[in-house]
């Protein structure tokens, strides 16, 4: 991971200093970003599936569940902790995609 980040930083410094009109580089970077976004979107779909299972099991949507869980009215059952964690992982994955998209 550190090697990859180092390479990206070096490339960024070179492009910032010298500029580039390299279409191959641009296409390559677009493909890398698209691949990463696609991978995270698949994870989000998995999280949605898990959330749907929790919602059906407890007859409660995730938004209402999270309100009740955060105010302490549901307790700390392991199932509720997993549900809250799944909501958070989905939120972070969605935020990650926005960052990859430059939004």
How far apart CA 48 and CA 25 sit, in angstroms, is 35
Residue 93 near residue 47, CB atoms below 8 Å: yes
Q: Which of these, 89, 88, 91, 69, lies nearest to 80 by C-alpha position?
A: 69
- Would the CA dihedral through 8, 14, 16, 20 be positive or negative? negative
Instruction: Count CB neighbours of 37 within 10 A.
Output: 15
pLDDT digits (tens, 9 = 90+) for 64-100: 999 999 999 998 899 999 999 999 999 999 999 999 9
Q: What is the pTM of this model?
A: 0.83
DSSP assignment letter at 5: H
pLDDT digits (tens, 9 = 90+) for 8-23: 999 899 898 888 888 8
Place of tokens 């990650």: 96
pLDDT digits (tens, 9 = 90+) for 29-71: 999 999 999 999 999 999 999 999 999 999 999 999 999 999 9
The pLDDT-based confidence of 1 (bands split at 50, 70, 90) is low
How far apart CA 49 and CA 83 sit, in angstroms, is 12
């Amino acid at each position: 991971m550190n090697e990859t980040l180092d390479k990206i930083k070096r490339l960024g410094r070179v492009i910032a200093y010298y500029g580039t009109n390299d279409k191959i580089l641009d296409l390559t970077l677009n493909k890398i970003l698209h691949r990463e976004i696609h991978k995270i979107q698949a994870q989000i779909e998995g999280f949605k599936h898990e959330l749907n299972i929790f919602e059906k099991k407890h007859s409660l949507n995730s938004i209402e569940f999270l309100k009740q869980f955060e105010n302490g009215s549901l307790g700390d059952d392991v199932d509720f902790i997993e549900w809250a964690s799944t909501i958070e992982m989905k939120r972070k994955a969605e935020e990650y995609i926005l960052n990859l998209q430059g939004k």
